[in-house]
Structure 1
């Protein structure tokens, strides 16, 4: 392990309540104190972004700038977030996200869909139901007004592994609803 990695591992291994001392740790591992503290803070910021993404709340650039200012206890310039994203472009992505109702987010899972369609297939076979006897009535809601996509920051893990590409939004919106009917055979 390189000296910087070893120093960061030593900082991460501190128990809760143990005093963090960048100067002593940097000296022990032969790395620069400023570089060590910057890397440590950046790794915490990346971890925080990942936890937000796990909750379906990927942050905006402005939010990341505010988080960085809180961590550093000093002003962070307007271009800092862009430089941070470029530096960590392997771990963090800036992507366009669309909104998703929080109830739908909670129900959205490939496992639940697979269970539903397996049950449907079994029941159709069990009761010998023909496609021309199956109807679907569905409603579609449209948001009144304009809903814009928002550029959000995602960690690589949340974007690729968990497929989180939407943000959770509240339900304080007005909707117009259309109800339609269709046969299972497509007519």
Structure 2
């Protein structure tokens, strides 16, 4: 009982200072997991422009492991993030905090001090509001700077109402979102 009350109190405290508890970032586990490259049977090429994806719709099958090859042909930093509409809404707040902290700029990754962040020196770790750790390292998302290409391997364990989106401030609202459809 004490542990449950402690966890609830910690979640309330984290929310009050503007951070997100680490276990909230694993919402993607409801529909998938990090994929293993050796299990990939298909590669989907995604092109990002300012502010659109091509294609705007992808077709998947439950149980499928897909390699996404994402090329940013725009002039701005963009994200490819697979999730539910609610997950994107939450992540947009986190991305705004990353911009506000200087962790990101409109065209790339800003200065990040990784010392003592507890992220193993990863490319996207930083501290956010209230000293809460912020990271951009979930297996369902990748940031791609202008002119660069990135890959993401993800296993879709079960169908869900998903979309892929860029959660950089203002991009989703400008139409940088695509539909994920599952075959029956």
Normalized against structure 2, the TM-score is what?
0.21
Max Rg structure: 1
- The structure that is helix-richer by fraction is 1
Specify which structure has the bigger relative contact order, considering alpha-carbon pairs within 8 angstroms and separated by 6 or more residues: 2
